[in-house]
A and B are shown apart, each in its own frame.
Chain A
């Protein structure tokens, strides 16, 4: 996991003029409760208080910029009339923390939410996602220390409460606008359904009685239509939100909402890695190649529910062409399509590692499907199998019945983010699950943005000019340089604003006035071309 994601189609022309920027990022919504399990109407208030307790090491005073970008035009303040959906300053501040690591910690509905910064490698995806847990953990510690009533809070990175309520884990992939949306729907749906077998987080009870007992996926039951816009009701397996936070004519930001909040790094790696590679392959393949290689499900919603409830992985799923296929066959077919594509197109070590792990996990799932007592190490790698193993051992050893509250508690507490209490964290500390990250690189991700995306510019500006950066968004940095109005610097190209391009520029200016004047001038005082995050040009 040392090199970057593939560019368009993974071809060797990567990085040349016109190459697309391959970016991904993930968002985690957290469930919260008091130590009694209750939270009720207080969830929004407590979420705000948690966010408000973020230590100053990780974010300054900047607001979130809700305005659409407008390249290099002066902004007359960003709370203009007629924009009622924009929160006023106080509410904005209460709701948001613009993080020095390039990400965002905020309150969404009644939940704390963390959006990791834009990343260009899977290692960054993994470590920045985990950094979000650590940030929440420090908020939690400070909140508890300050609470006059001595209460204690639980924070879970999971997706369902067992009573039919779900909250999300969202992946974002920048894909070429040139790939028609219909091809994404026909090429991706079967993968979003079948990948649950290696990246489901598992849960002991069904939320909607679609299946009895253990579910492989926390989220599957909550999907009702094949394609849809909403993330809270009538959820669609392929989400249609089209807000690229980048050049609209070039990019689409595919918003994937079907995934579970994994604890296992291996499951996260496979969840994001395989999806990213499939999207690259769809971009690079012809429609004919796609149609020949990727099966289309007759009823994706029914299939998603069936996959989640079938621990044997053998239930036949109906295909649009009249055949049926087990989820394992389906997953293997998709992996073969993607593997074949990259064999032809070429690949670096990161892609090779994803393909190898993908193949390895599928082959061991095949063994598990034939003999459920033979997990072949998957009980150290795949969340639902790790969790199921733990629950089965506990139930057998303690001789407790299936309805015992302790089993559901183990399920929940597996996702508790606090070290020393969270059960997954316990397994990690004891070396009982496979780890990919070093603690030091997670620690680094709390403080510093990824070096190779525009997140570098956002996070570094926030830290370097804490008094002058008024607000940021995914595609803008708004500065108050002491002039008559605020100025918005656009960040429309997610692959610019990198350390390589903008690091020295930020370093050599003590004020944003100097930085802006160099950006506008196009050269620095020595006549060298300025390295600002201008748009429309490649590195």
Chain B
């Protein structure tokens, strides 16, 4: 913990690469994102438990902590 340094001045600019970018509003990008989103929905259909309705009714956990 000896690396902890003393800063009395105001915090400097944020390390930009470490903070995620806010998505741009460009319509091309938005359309691309939409297509990718639809793609993930298809993927969900592929892997989602086939007996979803039965599964969620049966999923009861006891005990713990």
Which B1-34 residues have C-beta < 8 A from chain A? 1-8, 10-11, 14-15, 18-23
Total count of chain A residues near the partner, CB < 8 A: 78
User: With the chains together, A199 CA to B21 CA distance in Å?
Assistant: 20
Main secondary structure of the interface of B (DSSP, over half): loop
Nearest B-chain residue to A5, judged by Cβ? B1
Nearest A-chain residue to B13, judged by Cβ? A356
The yes or no answer to A421 lying at the interface (CB within 8 A) is: yes
Which A157-176 residues have C-beta < 8 A from chain B? 161-163, 165-168, 170
B10 and A33 contact, CB distance less than 8 A = no
Nearest A-chain residue to B34, judged by Cβ? A393
By a CB distance below 8 angstroms, the chain B residues around A108 are 64-65
The yes or no answer to A346 lying at the interface (CB within 8 A) is: yes
Nearest B-chain residue to A339, judged by Cβ? B11
A37 and B19 contact, CB distance less than 8 A = no
Among B3, B6, B10, B65, chain A packs the most CB atoms within 10 A around the CB of: B65
A376: contacting residue among B23, B36, B58, CB under 8 A = B23
Which A14-37 residues have C-beta < 8 A from chain B? 14-15, 19, 22, 29, 31-33, 35-37
User: With the chains together, A423 CA to B46 CA distance in Å?
Assistant: 11
Complex interface: stretch among A141-149, A407-415, A503-511, A518-526: A407-415
User: With the chains together, A11 CA to B2 CA distance in Å?
Assistant: 10
By a CB distance below 8 angstroms, the chain B residues around A410 are 44, 48
A167 and B64 contact, CB distance less than 8 A = yes
B55 and A343 contact, CB distance less than 8 A = no
What does the 1/0 interface line of A115-139 toward B look like (CB < 8 Å)?
0000010000000000000000000
By a CB distance below 8 angstroms, the chain A residues around B21 are 377
B47 and A423 contact, CB distance less than 8 A = yes
Nearest B-chain residue to A230, judged by Cβ? B65
B53 to chain A, nearest CB (A): 3
B20 and A12 contact, CB distance less than 8 A = no
By a CB distance below 8 angstroms, the chain B residues around A44 are 63
Which A30-82 residues have C-beta < 8 A from chain B? 31-33, 35-40, 43-44
A339 to chain B, nearest CB (A): 8
User: With the chains together, A377 CA to B60 CA distance in Å?
Assistant: 34
B11 and A36 contact, CB distance less than 8 A = no
What does the 1/0 interface line of A406-440 toward B look like (CB < 8 Å)?
10111011000000110100110010101000000
User: With the chains together, A43 CA to B62 CA distance in Å?
Assistant: 8
The yes or no answer to A109 lying at the interface (CB within 8 A) is: yes
A377 and B38 contact, CB distance less than 8 A = no
User: With the chains together, A415 CA to B21 CA distance in Å?
Assistant: 26
B64: contacting residue among A12, A29, A35, A381, CB under 8 A = A29
A485 to chain B, nearest CB (A): 35
A154 to chain B, nearest CB (A): 8
A15 and B2 contact, CB distance less than 8 A = yes
A426 and B65 contact, CB distance less than 8 A = no
B62: contacting residue among A165, A343, A347, A348, CB under 8 A = A165
By a CB distance below 8 angstroms, the chain B residues around A35 are 49, 55
Nearest A-chain residue to B38, judged by Cβ? A397
B12 to chain A, nearest CB (A): 9
A218 to chain B, nearest CB (A): 12
By a CB distance below 8 angstroms, the chain B residues around A364 are 22
The yes or no answer to A445 lying at the interface (CB within 8 A) is: no
Given A356-B14, A356-B15: A29 in contact with B47 (beta carbons within 8 A): no
B41: contacting residue among A165, A344, A377, A398, CB under 8 A = A398
User: With the chains together, A248 CA to B41 CA distance in Å?
Assistant: 52
The yes or no answer to A360 lying at the interface (CB within 8 A) is: yes
B22 to chain A, nearest CB (A): 5
A37 and B62 contact, CB distance less than 8 A = no
A397 and B41 contact, CB distance less than 8 A = yes
Nearest A-chain residue to B64, judged by Cβ? A167
The yes or no answer to A308 lying at the interface (CB within 8 A) is: no
The yes or no answer to A232 lying at the interface (CB within 8 A) is: yes
B4 and A348 contact, CB distance less than 8 A = yes
The yes or no answer to A197 lying at the interface (CB within 8 A) is: no
The yes or no answer to A111 lying at the interface (CB within 8 A) is: yes
The yes or no answer to A289 lying at the interface (CB within 8 A) is: no
Q: List 20 A-B contacts (CB under 8 A).
A: A31-B61, A33-B58, A37-B57, A39-B60, A40-B60, A108-B64, A120-B1, A162-B56, A165-B64, A167-B64, A170-B65, A343-B7, A346-B6, A390-B44, A393-B41, A397-B41, A404-B53, A406-B52, A413-B47, A420-B47
Q: Given contacts A29-B65, A165-B62, could you give 20 more A-B pairs where the C-beta distance is less than 8 Å?
A: A4-B4, A33-B61, A37-B54, A37-B59, A109-B65, A162-B56, A165-B64, A166-B65, A168-B64, A346-B8, A360-B14, A377-B22, A381-B20, A406-B48, A409-B49, A409-B53, A412-B55, A413-B47, A427-B40, A432-B40
Binding site for B on A (CB under 8 A): 3-7, 10-12, 14-15, 19, 22, 29, 31-33, 35-40, 43-44, 108-111, 120, 161-163, 165-168, 170, 231-232, 257, 343-344, 346-348, 351-353, 355-357, 360, 364, 376-377, 380-381, 390, 393-394, 397-398, 404-406, 408-410, 412-413, 420-421, 423, 426-427, 430, 432, 434
